[in-house]
A and B are shown apart, each in its own frame.
Chain A
Amino acid sequence: MIRRAVAIIVFTFACAACGGGDDGGSPPPTNSAAGTEIVIAFEGGVPARDIWRQDVPLGDLVSVEVSGDRDEDIHIHGYDLYITPDEGAATLEFNALIPGRFEIELEQSGRLILEITVS
């Protein structure tokens, strides 16, 4: 019986796998020439905008543009990049080579600014 159950599982997922292949469940990495621009503006030390989510194609060149005053480092998780406050207005560029969903947040207070979804 356990064997039968296993057979059912294997069968279903074999089907699922075929079905998925047709739909293109995993798009190939695209490298758009335009790149992704992320603009983070601060007003009175806090992000001017509510938390948002941004999709980034895998392999894209991402430029993070920061303006306005703030006291804290901005931390791009996973990529482990920091933008310090003494730079004032600043632009940081990096290649989005790690797939996944990552938080960009104010480092000391842990306040989330946005999430990027690299896929």
Chain B
Amino acid sequence: MSRRNRLLAAVTLSSFALGGAAPAAAHGIGGRTDLPLPAWQLAWAAGFAVASSFVALGAFWATPRLAAAAEGRVAFDLRTPAFRLLEVVAKTVGVFVFGVILWAGWFGNENGAANIAGDAVLIWFWVGLQIVSFLFGDVWRAFNPFSTVADAGAWIRSRVTGKPMSELDDDARLSLWPAVAAIFAYLWFELAYHSTDSPRAIVAFLTVYSVAMLAGASVEGRGWVRRADGFAVLFTKLAAMAPLYRDDTGKLRYRSPLAGLSVLPDVPGTVPFVLVVLGSTTFDGFTRSSIWVDLAGSRTGWDRTFTNSIGLVIVILIVGMAYSVAISAMASITNEEAAELSRRFGPTLVPIAAAYAVAHYFSLLVLEGQRMIIRISDPAGRGWDLFGTVDYAIDWTLVSTDTIAWVQTLAIAVGHVMAVAAAHDVAISRYDHRVAIRSQYPMLAVMILYTVLGLFLLLGA
């Protein structure tokens, strides 16, 4: 008995004493993963994806709709003094929160579970904003501290030099390749680096990222942030699915979901960008399979980082190759150039990326995301209790495992239908109906592949 008591004391003490250690987690953050999807549910969803794709060929609209719906209707004018003020407040909040994260990460508790940096960046920023973006539009644009600081810098420079501020959009130089590099850097950090949940590592990444944004902006002009900020680029792409957007004149408009995908600017690098994001989420799912656990689970430190890096690159390449094979097949049906087709159909993959994000990270957001309630009272893990929430205990049963499984299955299935619908719309806007349908077979094949792959990974086998 006394032995048991001693052990319990040791267990309790060690949880407090861990403050000094920097624990490492296998998948980005946290150690809970979802239960495997029941096989019958998986089979239904996969069957549904295949069936709906072929139904879609015949049943979906025969004349293009999305581009016509992209303009939408004015909900209200945002150019009122009240919204101007709100804009300033949002920018201030963005810079302030970013500052708190940098401060907590650099100077706060080194234990990932006692520091706001990991939860704020890996869960609420990365996962939360992806979901907010495709549901409600480009919310991040209002808060983005990188563009706020870059704009402020440009304004000061124009005051000092007396020259006008540099243009935001320089179409001739517009390319998303810098953003591809930026988002890959983040994904590598999140999924491949072995010590992702160390607050110091997170802010080190954020600091490097910020320097790249701001140094680039000071050399290239503030348009650089638009081309290079991988986060903002991803949120903007996802927001194109949303029923709300802000037009160039500053009016808030509503439109049919997905319609924005048809008017996404055709900027070089867009397709690789989407494929890198899609491939990375696939890799994250794959790391939970027993195949990967057996291969890499016992590796630690840089050995693990190295193995993860190779896995990440290979999975991205496979996902990208599947797309490029489908595009080549389509090009041979329609006698067009593959590169041109690839750019046209690239945006139709965005709903699949959104679905993957929900399927893989929904439970992380609602379960481990709760830790934020504790952390806002004590961001740096210094024993503070600003809002009296520091004793909150995470409710691990907030959503049932059945609910999680249904959210995952539905997300994948709905994302699949949306992607098929978007691709269908692009096809009929380019070809007459018969060619449009034939051209879609390879596209359907690759989308079914992504969907079944996404489902298979949820099996966690």
Contacts and interface: CB of A to CB of B under 8 A. Distances in A.
A5 to B, nearest CB: 6
B332 interface: no
Interface string A79-93: 011111011001110
A101 B34 contact: yes
Interface in B355-408: 363, 396-397, 400-402
B300 A115 contact: no
Contact of B40 (A5, A20, A92): A20
A27 B294 CA distance: 28
A98 B396 contact: yes
A70 interface: no
User: Which of B38, B56, B298, B413 has most A Cβ within 10 Å?
Assistant: B298
B314 interface: no
B34 A110 contact: no
Interface residues of A, number: 50
A104 to B, nearest CB: 8
Contact of B294 (A50, A77, A86, A111): A50
Contacts of A26: 38, 401-402
B164 to A, nearest CB: 45
B460 A111 contact: no
Contacts of A8: 52, 55, 59, 417
Contacts of A101: 32-36, 288, 460
B56 A5 contact: yes
A111 B293 CA distance: 11
A105 B401 CA distance: 23
Contact of A13 (B6, B290, B402, B410): B410
Nearest to B195: A110
Interface in B444-461: 460
B304 A110 contact: yes
B37 to A, nearest CB: 10
A108 to B, nearest CB: 6
Query: Interface of chain A, helix or strand or loop or mixed?
Result: mixed
Given A5-B59, A8-B52, A98 B397 contact: yes
Contacts of A98: 32, 396-397
Contact of B24 (A9, A19, A110): A110
Nearest to B44: A16
Interface in A65-103: 73, 75, 77-78, 80-84, 86-87, 90-92, 97-103
Contact of A23 (B11, B40, B288): B40
B207 interface: no
Contact of B417 (A9, A51, A73, A99): A9
A82 B18 contact: yes
A25 B56 contact: no
Given A53-B290, A99-B401, A77 B59 contact: no
Contact of A5 (B11, B31, B304, B417): B417
Given A5-B59, A9-B52, A109-B301, A115 B293 contact: yes
Interface string B292-331: 0110011111001000000000000000000000000000
B48 A112 contact: no
Interface in B1-48: 4, 6-7, 10-11, 13-15, 18, 21, 23-26, 30-36, 38, 40-41, 44-45, 48
Contact of B26 (A50, A99, A112): A112
Given A1-B65, A101-B460, A105-B31, 12 more contacts: A2-B421, A8-B417, A9-B48, A23-B40, A51-B297, A51-B298, A77-B31, A81-B11, A82-B11, A82-B14, A87-B10, A101-B288
10 contacts: A9-B52, A9-B414, A51-B297, A81-B15, A99-B396, A101-B36, A110-B25, A110-B300, A111-B297, A112-B293
The 8 closest A-B CB pairs, nearest first, are A77-B31, A110-B24, A112-B297, A16-B44, A98-B396, A103-B31, A109-B300, A82-B14
